Amino acid sequence: MAASLFAPVYERLARRHYWRGYAAYKRGALDEAMAHYAKALHWTPEDPWALDGRGNVKAAKGDHTGALADYTRATRILPDHAGMLGNLGRCLNAMQEPERAIAVLDRAVALDPMHANNLRIRADALALVGRLDYALADLSRAIELEPDPATALYDRGVILARQRKYDEALADFERMLAAPQPLAAGYYGRGIARAGLGKHDDAIADFTAYLAQRADDIDALYHRGNCHNAVGDHAAALADFNRGIHLRGDMPDFYLSRATANAGLGRLEAALADCNRAVELGPDLVRAYLHRVTITFRLRDYAAVITDGDRILALAPNETGGFLARGAGHFALADYAAAIADYDALLAIAPEEPEAYLGRAAARREMGGGEAMLTDYRKYLALLAEPTTARQFNGRAWALFVLGDLEPGKVDADRAIALAPDDASGYGTRAHIFEALGRPAEAIVDFRAALTRNPTEYLEKLAHAALTRLGSTL
């Protein structure tokens, strides 16, 4: 009887604390908000609004397990409230339970198809399970419904970038940034899209604008560093990766990207140390071994290249890079039969892999050449897409040289040298072409240029024989 008499008083007290908690939550005073919600629930323990509010505070503090308990209780008491169901779905997303979230959000959207926030939350869940087209549909609908669709535009742009639809992603981020008070995330997103389109200088400007507001965002530091690497500014890249590693030193990809920067600066031992650290952090990370073989090969530790090739194939038996690494290591050690065996094994599972034909042709050339070698070079040329990298231009140049198509081969070698002026390969290829064209003076210059850039035993032997033929010396 007494409890029923005082019920209206308890409800008024609870409501007062609920609204105070809500106001504190909105201004970011989470501890104060938590205290008010606790008092509200003291007076009315089954109030779904106070439970939902306390769940929001717990979620903001990172206590997703506690938030889940509150959201679950709230939605059992008030099962048809789309907003509360949306909060429950968002919490399940944060706990990496997207399938459960989708089931909750399907009900929420059915209850209120015009609830843009729930559409965005469901899109997050759909993206987590890889149903990207459905996620895009939800986000497009949310953009139509929201008066200020910045968050939905950002989320849609991120998914489009994941699908490598960088032009469409860029349009969404541009639309975000056209707002009177654009969100900083728009610069980050536009940087991702521009980097995907190869506009690395523009992407650097975007990441810099974002970092001016979020100085310690490790993702932005990582992507800006990669863009610096892409444009050859390895010192700037190194600064970004150093900063990121200082902030969080347990991410293998930071070390791998810093290895690229160190290698670009000629600091191969430092690059190897970075790769080793990445392997320590991710012993099952195939890309860490793939990266390391590029460094150990340049350091002429060919046995280590072969060992890492074995590790790669143990982790990923069909990984192209494992066979190519092992084949290159065996070739460098003059074990041409073993190299051919590696390339044969790769072609058995990837018969359209051009690099395997190029490597096998080179090994066959060292073993005397013949029609099988020429067939491999022809197959390589037939499979190779239009070259974009120095390695690809040089590979095509060498194949054309062996097949006697010298002038086009020289054009490709010139392009390889222009793209990678510090790489010996282009000079070595062009030197052979000059020799075949009867231009010995230019051949001598290129052979010497190759040797100064990569004085390996194999190249020295090759160049010495060529220079002897040309009447010169090392």
Q: Is residue 266 part of a domain?
A: no
Q: Tell me, what's the pLDDT at 43?
A: 87
Q: Tell me, what's the pLDDT at 455?
A: 62
Number of domains the chain is built from: 1
Q: How far lies 467's CA from each of 272, 394, 436, in Å?
A: 34, 21, 13
Q: Tell me, what's the pLDDT at 459?
A: 59
Q: Is residue 370 part of a domain?
A: no
Q: Tell me, what's the pLDDT at 326?
A: 98
pLDDT in tens, 209-264: 999 999 999 999 999 999 999 999 999 999 999 999 999 999 999 999 999 999 99
Q: Tell me, what's the pLDDT at 450?
A: 87
Q: Tell me, what's the pLDDT at 422?
A: 86
Give the integer Cα–Cα distance in Å for 407 and 134.
Answer: 52
Angle between the N-to-C axes of helices 457-469 and 440-453, in degrees from 0 to 180, rounded to the nearest 10: 160
Q: Is residue 123 part of a domain?
A: no
Q: Is residue 356 part of a domain?
A: no
Q: Tell me, what's the pLDDT at 453?
A: 81
Amino acid letter, residue 396: R
Q: Are 416 and 397 in contact (CB under 8 A)?
A: yes
Query: Which distant-in-sequence residues (6+ apart) come within 8 Å of 349 by Cβ?
Result: 318
Q: Is residue 459 part of a domain?
A: yes
22-29 LR contacts (CB < 8 Å, sep 24+): 22/53, 25/53, 25/56, 25/57, 25/60
Q: Is residue 434 part of a domain?
A: yes
The pLDDT averaged over each successive group of 10 residues in the chain (474 residues) is: 51 86 91 93 91 95 95 95 95 96 96 93 94 93 87 93 95 93 94 97 98 96 98 97 96 97 95 98 97 95 97 97 97 96 98 95 93 95 90 93 95 95 90 92 89 67 66 58
CATH number, domain with residue 424 = 1.25.40.10
Burial of residue 226, with CB atoms counted within 10 A of its CB: 0-12 exposed, 13-18 middle, 19 or more buried: buried
Q: Is residue 26 part of a domain?
A: no
Give the integer Cα–Cα distance in Å for 332 and 340.
Answer: 12
Give the integer Cα–Cα distance in Å for 264 and 67.
Answer: 48
The pTM of the full predicted model, rounded to 2 decimals, is 0.78
Residue numbers of the domain that contains 430: 387-474
Q: Is residue 151 part of a domain?
A: no
